[in-house]
Amino acid sequence: MDAKLILNGSEYEFPVIVGTENEVGIDFTKLRSRTGAIGLDPGFGNTGSCTSSITFIDGEKGILRYRGYPIEEVAESASFEEVCFLLIFGHLPTPKELFAFRDQLTHHSMIHESLKNFFEDFPPTAHPMMILSAMVASLSAFYPRSVEPREVDLNIVRLLAKAKTIAAFSFKRSIGQPFVYPRNDLSYTENFLHMLFAVPAEPYIVSPVVDRALNLLLILHADHEQNCSTATVRVVGSSQANLFASVSAGISALWGPLHGGANQRVIEMLEQIRDDGMDYRKYVNLAKDKDSSFRLMGFGHRVYKNFDPRATILKKAADEMLAELGIDDPLLEIAKHLEEVALEDEYFLERKLYPNVDFYSGILYRAMGLPTDMFTVMFALGRLPGWIAQWKESREDPAARISRPRQIYLGEALRPFEPLDLRAKSPEGVPTEPELVGV
Ligand code: SDX
C-alpha cells in the first residue's frame, strides 16, 4: 500500500507502514529529498518519531498494553520489578531472573557518599524534581565509563536502584530529617517507603496497604509510548549522550505542569475548590473560558479520547486505600464531584476531555503521607523503566539517526548588516547607564 501526494503538479508515492494493531503510518523519510517540501506538525500530534515494540496505546478505546499485556492485568498481578524487567528486556522474567534482578536492585541502592554530600548545598526550598534531575545527571560523574555498551546493563540497574534513594534523601532533606539508608532485607517498594518514612527514634513497619498502593502507582506510570518526557529521553539519547544524561533531561520535561507536574497541580486545584466553597460549576466554567488561564488539571490527553485506563484503576484504588487506612480525605469526594460536573458538560464531552492518570494519583500519594511537591518525583520513579526501555530500544536500532527536526522560516529576508557608528560623540538621549533597551 502506498500513499500518493500531489505537490506543484507532480505526483509522488510514499510507502505506508502498518503496525501490529493496524495503525497506519506514511513513511516520509524521503519526503524532502524527493519533493523539497517538509511536513509541518508543531507538537507532533500527527507525527511518529519511531517504531517501537514496548507499549501500545489505543486512545479511542482507552487501551494500554506493556509488551502486549493489558495494563489492567499487569496492575492486578505484577510486581514493579517484574514490570521493569518486562519493559526493559522485552519479556517477563523467569523466577530465577527475577530473583537475580531484585538482588541487583537491592545491592545497588546505595549512592556514593560524595553524591550524598551534594544535598547539603541545595537550598531547603529546592524542588525535589530539580534535585532528582541534577543528581541523576551527576551519576555519570561517578560512572565515567557509562557510555561503553557493556556498562549499559549495569547502569540500568544503578539508575533504577539509586533513583529511589535519591528521591527519598531529597524528601528527608526537605523536612530536615536524617537520611535513612537502604536495607537489603526489603523489597524495592518497601525499601523506598522505609527510606521515606523511617525515623531513628522508632522502628518503621511498612504498611502492606501502602506498599501495595505504591507498587500499583509505579506500575501504572511505568511507560506510555512517545509522551513528552520519553520523546525527550530519545532525542537526547539520539546524540549518543549517556543514559544518566538522557534520563535527567526526561525528568526535567516531566516536571512541567502540562505533563507529570499536573499531579501536584490537581491537588492544589482541589484544595482551591475546597477553600472556595466547593463551587464546582465556577471552576468548570473557568476551565471553559478562553480568557482564563485556568485549566482543569488532570483532565484531557493528547492520545486518550476516552477514559485513561490508569485513571479508572486509580479512582478505584483511591477508594480502597483510604477505606483500608481509615482516612477520610475530602479531596477525593471533591475530585469525584468535579469529574461528574465536567463530564455532564458539552465542552468537555465534545472535546473528549476525560480524567487522565494525574487526576486521582495525588489522592493516593497524600494518603501515603507525601507532600505535593514529591508527587511528580513519584511519577518519575514509576516512569524510569519506560524511559530506560525506550532509550535502550533507540540505541539498539541500527537505523537510528540523531534527532534533528526541520522548520519553516518566517523571519526577515536577506538584508545588509550596518555596523553602529560609535565614533560620534554620544548623541542626546543615549542612556549613559547600561540599560536593557529593546527587549
Ligand atoms: C500526562 O502524553 C502522555 O502520554 C502523557 C501522560 C504520560 O503518561 O506520559 O499520559 C501523562 O502528562 C497526562 C496529562 C497531564 N496534564 C494535565 O492534566 C494538564 C491539563 N491538560 C491539558 O493541558 C491538555 O489536555 C494536555 C496538555 C494534556 C493535552 O493537550 P493537547 O493535546 O495539546 O490538547 P489541546 O491543548 O490542544 O486541547 C484541545 C482543546 C482546546 O480547546 P479548543 O481550542 O479546542 O477550544 O481542549 C481544551 C483546549 O483548550 N482543553 C482543556 C483542557 N485540556 C484541553 N480545557 C480545559 N481544561 C483542560 N484540562
What's the longest Cα–Cα distance across the chain? 83
Active site residue 358: yes
| Ligand 1 nearest atom to the CA of residue 45, by list position | 32
Residue 333 has pLDDT above 60, yes or no: yes
- Grid cell listed for 328: 477520610
Task: Say how many Å lie between the CA of residue 136 and the centre of ligand 1.
Answer: 28
* pLDDT over threshold 50, residue 303: yes
pLDDT at 430 over 70: no
Q: Residue 397: CA atoms inside 13 Å, Cβ hemisphere, count?
A: 18
- For CATH 1.10.230.10, list the domain ranges present in the chain: 262-368
CA distance 283 to 342: 9
One-letter amino acid of 194: H
Domain with CATH 2.20.28 in the chain: 2-58
Residues with CB under 6 A from ligand 1: 43, 224, 227, 258-260, 262, 287, 295-303, 351, 353, 356-358
Confidence of residue 424 (pLDDT cuts 50, 70, 90): low
The angle at the Cα of 329, spanning 324 to 334, to the nearest 5 degrees, equals: 125
- What residue owns the CA closest to ligand 1's atom 47? 351
pLDDT digits (tens, 9 = 90+) for 38-84: 999 999 999 999 999 999 999 999 999 999 999 999 999 999 999 99
pLDDT digits 0-9 by tens, 108-158 = 999 999 999 999 999 988 999 999 999 999 999 999 776 677 789 999 999
pLDDT at 439: 44
Residue whose CB lies within 8 A of the most ligand 1 atoms, among 41, 356, 358, 359, for a mutation test = 356
Instruction: Give the residue with greater pLDDT, 372 vs 426.
Output: 372
CATH code of the region 2-58: 2.20.28
CATH architecture classification, 262-368: Orthogonal Bundle (1.10)
Q: Measure Cα distances from 38 to 29, 33, 320, 405 in Å.
A: 10, 9, 51, 10
pLDDT digits (tens, 9 = 90+) for 147-196: 677 789 999 999 999 999 999 999 999 999 999 999 999 999 999 999 99
Query: Residue 354's closest CA among 385, 412, 311?
Result: 311
**Over residues 335-362, mean pLDDT:** 96
Q: Which residue is catalytic, options 194, 221, 301, 308?
A: 301
φ/ψ (deg, to 5) at 175: -110, 10
- Residue showing cell 486512545: 59
Helix H or strand E encompassing 215: helix 208-220
CA distances from 361 to 205, 302, 369, 419 (A): 23, 19, 13, 58
> Per-residue pLDDT for 248 more than 80?
yes
Q: Of all protein residues, whose CA lies closest to atom 39 belonging to ligand 1?
A: 351
